[in-house]
């Protein structure tokens, strides 16, 4: 299952990079990551960094998150966050536009783990089943997440039980998502 998620993520990333190169003649660019060190950074302009994905090199997993909450995370979550360093990527799944969260650097991976812990603690406090966020949407209250119980990808309203199943698996979700430049 890990391999499928890693392969699906690398495939999505290739499609995203190809789209950027077709549309702009350059590697993907990010204004929000400009000036932040990363193994992905290839070049920069006055206000944008251009990046290409790089293999995730640390011998790290989400074990810190598991230990902090005494919770075993799905293998798909480990694979999703430890396959590559990349910039966040915009995409569309059915009629949902979103930004896929990625790990930019080793320092960013530490921040990501802290944010996942905070997200899971909030869910535990509210007696919600655990999810791991995968993507943001235009709405600050809506996230695309991996259900840690079922492995389904869901659109969830933060802090509530309102969840809509988008896909039966993360690999399928990544394969069916279309890269987009917004």
Question: Using 50, 70 and 90 to split pLDDT, how confident is the model at 3?
Answer: low
Judge if pTM exceeds 0.85. yes
Question: Using 50, 70 and 90 to split pLDDT, how confident is the model at 159?
Answer: confident
pLDDT at residue 117 above 80? yes
From the CA atom positions of the chain, what is the Rg in Å?
16
Q: What tokens appear for 44 in the block? A: 């920069």
Query: What is the residue range of 123's domain?
Result: 2-179
Distance CA 35, CA 77 (A): 28
> What mean pLDDT, rounded, does the chain reach?
95
Coil, strand or helix: which one is 112?
Answer: helix
123-138: average pLDDT: 96
pLDDT, tens only, 13-71: 999 999 999 999 999 999 999 999 999 999 999 999 999 999 998 888 999 999 999 99
76-100: average pLDDT: 97
What's the CA dihedral at 48, 7, 155, 121 to 10 degrees?
A: -80
The domain tally of the chain equals: 1
101-127: average pLDDT: 96
Is residue 85 within 8 Å of residue 105, measured between CB atoms? Answer: yes
Q: DSSP 3-state helix, strand, coil percentages of the chain (rounded to 5)?
A: 35, 25, 40
CATH classification of the domain holding 115: 3.40.1580.20
pLDDT of residue 1: 45
Distance CA 163, CA 145 (A): 9
């Amino acid at each position: 299952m890990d391999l499928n998620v890693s392969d699906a993520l690398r495939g999505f990333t290739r499609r995203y990079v190809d789209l950027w190169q077709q549309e702009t003649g350059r590697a993907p660019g990010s204004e929000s990551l400009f000036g932040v060190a990363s193994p992905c950074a290839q070049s920069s302009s006055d206000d944008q960094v251009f990046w290409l994905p790089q293999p995730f090199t640390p011998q790290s997993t989400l074990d810190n998150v598991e230990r902090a909450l005494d919770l075993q995370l799905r293998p798909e979550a480990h694979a999703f966050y430890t396959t590559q360093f990349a910039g966040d990527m915009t995409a569309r799944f059915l009629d949902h536009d979103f930004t896929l969260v990625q790990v930019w650097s080793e320092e960013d991976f530490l921040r990501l783990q802290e944010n996942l812990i905070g997200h899971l603690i909030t869910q535990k406090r509210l007696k919600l089943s655990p999810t791991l966020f995968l993507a943001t949407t235009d709405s600050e209250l809506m996230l695309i997440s991996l259900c840690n119980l079922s492995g389904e990808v869901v659109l969830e309203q933060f802090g509530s039980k309102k969840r809509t199943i988008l896909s039966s698996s993360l690999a399928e979700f990544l394969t069916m998502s279309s890269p987009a430049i917004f």
